[in-house]
A and B are shown apart, each in its own frame.
Chain A
Amino acid sequence: MGVGKVWSEQTYEGRLNTLWEVDSGKPGPSLLFTGHLDTKPVCEGWQRDPFDGAIENGRLFGHGVMDMKAGLGSLAGGIVTLMESGVDFRGKVTFVAVADHMGQQTGSIDLFRRHKFDHCVLAELTDMQIYIAHRGRYYFDISTIGRSAHTCHKYSAINAIEKMLPVIEELSKLKYFPDISEELKELVGPELYTAVGRIYGGLFPGGPSMIPDRCTIRVDTRPQPGVPLEEVKAIIVAAIERAKARDPQIVCEIVDADVKDWFMVDRNAPIVDALKSSWESVMGRAAAFRGGSWLGDTASFGKLCETVIFGPGGEPVYQPNESLALTDIEAATRIYALTAAKILQAS
């Protein structure tokens, strides 16, 4: 078996996925341990070097330790544990640290374009809880179209920014509760979240004076598993129609700007069962399942591979002086090793 094979694969523009495969040499299932390498930017307010990686008072400090470098470290430690334990296993386990989670998830998309896996553990920060679902994300770009003119000729203009105001007001009033199961309501919540997250209009700062003929907003929606794009778009369009009823001069365009899929795995799936029983062995109590409103890379591969999400680290994340307890890293390492031993057990 040796120590396995390590290599990198380019996704795009020089960005790399890093892979480490340990093959038992015996036929059996293929287990993926994965997480992302990229982080969000460093926030203001750190009182120490955010990249020092120091350990003090039983905590490891550093930017991105929770999202999700401790998860990746613990996955690797789990594999080393499996290898050194002498537990007889079959099949293979592959560790993959992917690129571009914060962008378009091209690292995970490319990984699954090239490779197939039977089971997966994604080490997103879940505060040591077991997640079996998360919401998706649909972006809609809405533009109001006006008529531009110099401010001196205001009488001949239709200001696209002003025409956007009733649209934003109507969107802000939205409270929508899709018809979903009680299980889903419990996991990810009953309300479909919508928010106007960005607004663009007029010329750039320092530019000439001009009444704008276009204003665009991006509406961020977070649908629960099973809620289709068409259903969400319909409530957005209805809100726009209410704005138009208030002001017949409003002319709108709506574009489906981006779709990230929701994720849900059967709570009786073998990988869920393996991680749950390992968790209970380590934690000494019964496990409960959770769901999230954030996006994992499972938005891109969750329907291609049976996956459970579990990792060290939790909210608040990306805050000054971020740190994580070493006890969580140790417990996660143990849970990952046991999960691999169970799903790959030889007999």
Chain B
Amino acid sequence: MNAHALEKVGASLAVETSVGLTQEMVRIDSTNGPESGTASEVVGRRQSLE
């Protein structure tokens, strides 16, 4: 890993995406089966970035 890439990644770290998506997934019950709601949330969240 070169230092340039490390620097670039560090400067663009998308922690808000990680934390925000985690929060939104946690808020949907996906207990052993109904993942569909959570899946839709992932899609919606991603599309909102477009």
Determine which of B15, B35, B46 lies in contact with A20 in the assembled complex, contact meaning CB atoms within 8 Å: B46
Known contacts A39-B30, A51-B29; is A341 also within 8 Å of B9 by CB? yes
Q: When the two chains form the complex, which single residue of A38, A70, A84, A278 contacts B30, counting CB atoms closer than 8 Å?
A: A38
A277 B1 Cβ-Cβ under 8 A:
yes
A7 to B27, CA, bound (A): 21
Q: Cβ of B30 and Cβ of A334 under 8 Å apart? A: no
Q: Quick check: B32 and A53 within 8 Å, CB to CB?
A: no
Nearest chain-B residue to A86 (Cβ)?
A: B8
Contact A334 B13 (CB under 8 A): yes
Total residues of chain A contacting the partner, CB 8 A: 63
Q: How many A-B residue pairs have CB under 8 A?
A: 175
CA distance A6 to B39 in the complex (A): 11
The contact string, 1 if C-beta is below 8 Å from chain A, for chain B 1-35, is 10001101111111111111111111111111101
A70 interface neighbour in B22, B28, B35, Cβ under 8 Å = B22
- How far apart are A278's CB and chain B's nearest CB, in angstroms? 7
Q: Provide the residues of chain A in CB contact with B31, threshold 8 Å.
A: 38-42
In the complex, per-residue mask of A34-46: 1 if CB is within 8 Å of any chain B CB, else 0: 0001111110000
How many angstroms from the CA of A65 to the CA of B29 in the assembled complex? 11
Given contacts A18-B42, A55-B23, contact A38 B32 (CB under 8 A): yes
- Interface pair B27/A53, CB less than 8 Å apart: yes
Closest chain A residue to B8 by CB distance?
A85
Nearest CB in chain B: distance from A300 CB, A: 16
Knowing A53-B24, A281-B6, A330-B18 are in contact, say whether A17-B39 is a contact too (CB < 8 A): yes
Question: Cβ of A136 < 8 Å from any Cβ of B?
Answer: no
Are the C-beta atoms of B27 and A52 separated by less than 8 Å? Answer: yes
Min CB–CB distance A181 → chain B (angstroms): 30
Is A222 in contact with chain B by the CB < 8 A criterion? no
**Residues of chain A from 240 to 288 with CB closer than 8 A to chain B in the complex:** 277-278, 281
A296 at the interface (CB under 8 A from B): no
Rounded to whole angstroms, the CA-CA distance of A64 and B30 in the bound complex is 9
CB of A8 within 8 Å of the partner chain: yes
Closest to A7 in B: B43
Asked if A299 is an interface residue, CB under 8 A from chain B, the answer is no
Distance between Cα atoms of A226 and B9 in the complex (Å) = 39
A277 contacts which chain B residues (CB < 8 A)?
A: 1
Q: How far is the CA of A278 from the CA of B16 in the complex (A)?
A: 20
A80–B42 touching, CB < 8 Å: no
Residue pair B47, A6 in contact (C-beta under 8 Å): yes
Task: Known contacts A81-B12, A333-B14, A338-B6; decide if A326 and B30 are in contact (CB<8 Å).
Answer: no
Residues of B within 8 A of A109 (CB): none
Cβ of A219 under 8 Å from chain B: no
Give chain B residues whose Cβ lies under 8 Å from the Cβ of A3.
Answer: 46, 49-50
A65 to B43, CA, bound (A): 19
* B35-46 contact mask (Cβ, 8 Å, vs A): 1 or 0: 110111011011
Q: Given the complex, which residues of B lie within 8 Å of A199, measured CB to CB?
A: none
Find out whether the CB atom of A84 lies under 8 angstroms from the CB atom of B23. Answer: no
The verdict on A72 contacting B36 (CB below 8 Å), with A37-B30, A97-B42, A278-B1 known, is: no
Taking A62-B26, A64-B26, A73-B18 as given, write out 9 further A-B residue pairs in contact, using a Cβ cutoff of 8 Å, ordered by the A residue number: A6-B47, A18-B42, A37-B39, A51-B28, A53-B26, A60-B26, A80-B17, A84-B12, A84-B14
B-side interface residues toward A, CB under 8 Å?
Answer: 1, 5-6, 8-33, 35-36, 38-40, 42-43, 45-47, 49-50
9 nearest CB pairs, A to B: A77-B18, A62-B26, A73-B22, A80-B14, A53-B23, A37-B35, A73-B21, A85-B12, A53-B26
